[in-house]
């Protein structure tokens, strides 16, 4: 969906960056010669000469602190500091987002990545103490990304999500997004222990899949009956072995591993079926045409995809019942039309 910014001066408009020693990325803050913005909304009562971006959510000027563009009432900017990511200090208290951390040791407190922090006494996940976790032997498990998939932070900042701690000629090793952490006694995903993993033989496939020679997990969910010697990761949420294809931790029924392909976030297929998430659809595989991350069609219907955030993340595909298949096309601005209607990316009809 596209939203027009009111009163925006296009010649001076720019999206603002958030910088720290590990990460540089675009934020939802922007400015032109007249205003500062959060997404498409003008931020009111900003001191233009002292306004600064602290991270992707927080900003401040000499009078106020802002969270996602909204002024935080009663918060004094002189006492407000971002350590890294969502770990902040205000008035001699450390917070993760808006939750205070109980009795941290200020002298030894350090942020490990966007999820974990530690001091001399404890390890914290999103500000909560991880009980029975050994602070002296804890380490975040990095995941690997092949060289041809690397993000070029200077040439392609729009796609940059994180910077690696270390780079060599063949691999980038990422710790910043990893929720896998271990000590001498256990491996956890976030704050959930993975009981069946052998600590001496861990393989991190990506930010979601981890295993040893006998066991495979998707995040904290155990996959059953996987042929680990044949297992390969296809994307961050798809994998396969010699027989089965997996979406997250579930087997996709009727999917042929040897012919399975990921089309985009919404659609996967083999020679017989089109799948959405881990379910078989009635979409015709031989005539499927995917236009972009929103619209697709086959010989029978037009489809629109949406990312749904509920208790779990899911990609949903809906049939546009009234769309004319033969004349349906996607335009350069990401909207679509047929002989009767024009469609936004939320599949609402606009007047032609």
Cα distance between the two ends of the chain: 17
The pair of three-digit structure tokens given for residue 291, joined into one six-digit string: 């236009």
Rounded CA separation 102/294 (Å)? 44
The residues, any chain, with a CB within 8 Å of residue 95's CB and separated by 6 or more, are: 87, 88, 89, 101, 127
Nearest to 69 by CA among 78, 60, 77, 82: 60
Rg of the chain on CA atoms, in Å = 24
The DSSP line for 89-149 is EETTEEEETTEEPSS--TTT-EE-SSSEEE-SS-EEETTEE-TT--TTT-EEPPEEEEGGG
Residue range 83-121, pLDDT digits in tens:
888 899 999 999 998 889 999 999 999 999 889 999 999
For residue 228, the 8-state DSSP code is G
Rounded CA separation 176/144 (Å)? 12
pTM over 0.85: no
Tens-level pLDDT at each residue, the chain (352 residues): 556 677 788 899 888 865 544 444 556 888 999 999 988 889 999 999 999 988 888 999 999 999 989 999 999 999 999 988 889 999 999 999 888 999 999 999 999 988 999 999 999 999 999 998 999 999 998 765 443 344 443 333 333 333 322 223 333 444 556 899 999 999 999 999 999 999 988 988 888 999 998 999 999 999 999 999 999 999 989 999 999 999 999 999 999 999 999 998 889 999 999 999 899 999 999 999 999 888 999 999 999 988 766 555 667 898 998 899 999 999 987 889 999 999 886 655 554 4
* 106: phi then psi, degrees, rounded to nearest 5: -65, -35
Residue range 319-351, pLDDT digits in tens:
998 899 999 999 987 889 999 999 886 655 554
Nearest to 55 by CA among 83, 14, 89: 83
Question: How many C-beta neighbours within 10 Å does residue 247 have?
Answer: 22
Nearest to 147 by CA among 115, 114, 173, 186: 173
Greatest Cα pair distance, the chain, in angstroms, is 67
* 269: phi then psi, degrees, rounded to nearest 5: -160, 160
């Amino acid at each position: 969906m596209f939203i027009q910014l009111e009163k925006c001066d296009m010649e001076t408009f720019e999206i603002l960056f958030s910088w720290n020693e590990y990460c540089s990325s675009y934020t939802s803050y922007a400015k032109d010669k007249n205003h500062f913005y959060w997404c498409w909304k003008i931020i009111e009562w900003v001191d233009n000469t002292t306004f600064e971006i602290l991270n992707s959510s927080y900003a401040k000027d000499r009078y106020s602190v802002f969270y996602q563009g909204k002024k935080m009432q009663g918060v004094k900017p002189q006492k407000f500091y971002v350590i890294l990511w969502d770990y902040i200090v205000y008035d001699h208290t450390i917070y993760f987002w808006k939750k205070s951390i109980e009795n941290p040791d200020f002298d030894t407190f350090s942020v490990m990545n966007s999820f974990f922090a530690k001091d001399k006494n404890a390890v914290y996940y999103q500000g909560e103490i991880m009980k029975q976790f050994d602070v002296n032997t804890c380490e975040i498990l990095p995941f690997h990304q092949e060289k041809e998939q690397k993000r070029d932070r200077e040439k392609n900042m729009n796609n940059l999500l994180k910077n690696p701690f270390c780079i060599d000629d063949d691999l980038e090793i990422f710790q910043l997004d990893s929720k896998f952490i271990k000590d001498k006694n256990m491996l956890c995903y976030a704050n959930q222990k993975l009981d069946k993993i052998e600590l001496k033989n861990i393989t991190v496939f990506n930010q979601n899949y981890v295993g040893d020679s006998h066991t495979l997990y998707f995040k904290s969910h155990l996959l059953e009956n996987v042929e680990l010697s044949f297992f390969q990761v296809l994307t961050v949420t798809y994998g396969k072995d010699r027989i089965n294809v997996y979406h997250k931790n579930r087997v996709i029924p009727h999917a042929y591993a040897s012919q399975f392909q990921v089309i985009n976030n919404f659609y996967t297929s083999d020679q017989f079926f089109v799948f959405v998430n881990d379910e078989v659809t009635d979409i015709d595989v031989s005539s499927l045409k995917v236009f972009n991350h929103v619209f697709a069609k086959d010989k029978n219907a037009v489809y629109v995809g949406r990312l749904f955030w509920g208790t779990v993340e899911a990609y949903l595909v809906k049939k546009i019942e009234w769309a004319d298949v033969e004349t349906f096309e996607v335009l350069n601005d990401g909207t679509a039309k047929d002989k009767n209607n024009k469609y936004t990316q939320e599949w609402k009809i606009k007047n032609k």
